[in-house]
Amino acid sequence: MKPLSFASAVCLPVLLFLSAPVFAQDAQSAPDAPERRTIPPLTLEERIVDLIEAIQDEAPETYRRMAELPREETLARVMRALDSGVVPVSAAANGKTTASAPNTDVKSYPALELTEKKFLYLRFNGLTPRTTPDAVKSLEGKDGKADAPGIIFDLREMAGGDYGSVEPLAETARKLECPVIVLISGKTAGAGELLAAVLRRDRGAVLIGTETAGSVFPVKRITVNNIGWFVPTPPAQYSGISPYALKPDLEKNSEVRLNYDQLKESPGKLDGDPVLRLAADLLTMKAAVRPVEQSPAQ
């Protein structure tokens, strides 16, 4: 087997990192462009090397993470990525996209207490500096005493938002001792995915629903060799978070959902929302489990 050249070996990590969350788009040719190219086209190796150098300059944290990937695993994934091709930016609107939804039309939903157990329920369709403080106060509880027996984060409609608002919520959640469940779907994207990933990592949150959109981090456009790339730019404090779509711990169709007004009016009737019903039942079972008390030594 012919050994890989130095350029190929160096470039393997970037293809793996770019295979899921990055999209490319050929730049538009000028109307009066010549029919024939007078400059030989760049080889695949040359294109990848140029892209890596641009990422190193424009997105150093992404470059650092790519350099840490195991080479053997990278090669296998790169070949699968090359077989599947890349998704043009123009087609991203018809499928998965790395672009976060704008913060306009973000509604604030006051926290609810569900079932007779009074599980704290927080619903989000986005995050903004305006709505986040209310959610933090709800997590802290009355008089700063967080005494909820369990917390449900409903992120099934959270298609983006302000990344800077993720950490205040996550920081408050880290201080709580009750079990946490996060509801996700294919519409969970951007800041919603990052919040779900952080709660899973730092609080051991159980994720219920369906696979997320696959756009965890903010992106930056880099143009290399007349091709535009959207490159993920993970904040340094989330170095342990994967850039790929989140898979639920318990998979269940999450399209059927009670509207907020129904829940507010009847917080104990959850049968019209199978995913929320499952979350409440799981919290109830967790609350029923008590640690075994050791008998005093004889």
Position 143 scores a pLDDT of: 58
Distance of CA 102 to the CA centre of its chain: 16
Residue 53 or residue 259, greater confidence: 259
What's the whole-number average pLDDT of the chain?
A: 74
The CATH code for residues 112-211+246-287 is 3.90.226.10
Distance of CA 167 to the CA centre of its chain: 14
Calculate mean pLDDT across residues 2-12. 42
Exposure string of 39-53, with b = 16+ CB inside 10 Å and e = fewer, is eeeeeeeeebbebbe
Residue 141 backbone zone (phi > 0: left; psi -120 to 50: alpha; other: beta): left
Distance CA 103, CA 21 (A): 21
Instruction: Give 222's contacts (C-beta < 8 A, 6+ positions apart).
Output: 51, 54, 55, 58, 59, 228, 229, 231
Average pLDDT over residues 65-74: 68
Tokens representing 49? 């090397």
pLDDT band per the 50, 70, 90 thresholds, residue 102: very low
Q: What is the pTM of this model?
A: 0.71
Confidence check: pLDDT of 60 > 90:
no
> In the predicted model, is pLDDT for residue 78 greater than 90?
no
Domains in the chain: boundaries = 1-30+44-95+218-236, 112-211+246-287
Query: Which pLDDT score is estimated for 68?
Result: 75
* pLDDT class of 255 with cuts at 50, 70, 90: confident
Q: Is the pLDDT of residue 194 over 70?
A: yes
Q: What is the pLDDT of residue 276?
A: 94
Q: Which of 53-67, 87-101, 148-162 has the lowest mean pLDDT?
A: 87-101
Least confident of 81-90, 164-173, 279-288: 81-90
Give the lowest-confidence range in 68-82, 170-184, 189-203.
68-82
∠ CA 133-136-137, rounded to 5°: 90
